[in-house]
A = this chain, B = another copy of it.
Amino acid sequence: MVTDQRDAGRRLVFSTIRKAGRIARVDLARETGISPATVTSITAELIREGLIEETGPSQDNDLRRGRPRVDLKVRGAARIVAGMKLSHQTIAVALVDFEGTLVGEACLELDRARFKAAELLPLFRRALEHAVSTAGMTMDALAGIGIGMAGTVDAAHGTVYWSPGLSERNVPLREMLMADLDMPVFIDNDANLVAMAEQYFGHGRGVSDFIVLTIESGVGMGIVVNHEIYRGARGCGAEFGHTKVQLDGALCRCGQRGCLEAYVADYALLREAATTTDFADRATTAQKLQSLVEAAQAGDETAKSIFDRAGRMFAMGLANIVNIFDPELIILSGERMQFDYLYAEDVLDGIRKSIVQIDMAPPEVRIHKWGDLMWAKGAAAYAIEGVAEIALQDIAGNAA
Interface on A for B, CB 8 Å cutoff? 1, 4-5, 33-35, 152, 161-162, 169-170, 208-209, 221, 223, 225-226, 230-234, 236, 238-240, 242-247, 254, 256, 258, 312-313, 316, 319-321, 323-329, 353-360, 363
Number of copies: 2
Q: Is B323 within 8 A of A33, CB to CB?
A: no
Instruction: Give 17 A-B contacts (CB < 8 Å), ordered by A residue.
Output: A152-B358, A162-B358, A209-B233, A221-B324, A223-B324, A233-B326, A234-B358, A236-B358, A238-B323, A239-B323, A240-B324, A244-B316, A244-B323, A247-B313, A256-B354, A321-B324, A324-B324
Neighbouring B residues of A316 by C-beta, 8 Å:
244, 247, 258
Neighbouring B residues of A4 by C-beta, 8 Å:
5
Q: How far is the CA of A169 from the CA of B358 in the complex (A)?
A: 9
Beyond A233-B326, A240-B323, A256-B354, 10 additional pairs, beta carbon < 8 A: A1-B35, A161-B360, A232-B326, A234-B326, A234-B358, A236-B356, A239-B324, A243-B320, A243-B324, A244-B323
Neighbouring B residues of A221 by C-beta, 8 Å:
324
Most buried by B among A244, A254, A329: A244
Q: How far is the CA of A324 from the CA of B360 in the complex (A)?
A: 25
Q: Is B33 within 8 A of A242, CB to CB?
A: no
Neighbouring B residues of A1 by C-beta, 8 Å:
33-35
Q: Is B238 within 8 A of A230, CB to CB?
A: no
Q: How far is the CA of A385 from the CA of B327 in the complex (A)?
A: 25
Most buried by B among A4, A5, A242, A246: A242
Closest 3 CB pairs of A and B: A232-B326, A233-B328, A239-B323
The answer to whether A325 and B238 touch (CB under 8 A), given A225-B225, A356-B254, is yes
Which B-chain residue is minimally distant from A363 (CB atoms)?
Answer: B233
Which B-chain residue is minimally distant from A360 (CB atoms)?
Answer: B234
Neighbouring B residues of A326 by C-beta, 8 Å:
231-234, 236, 238-239
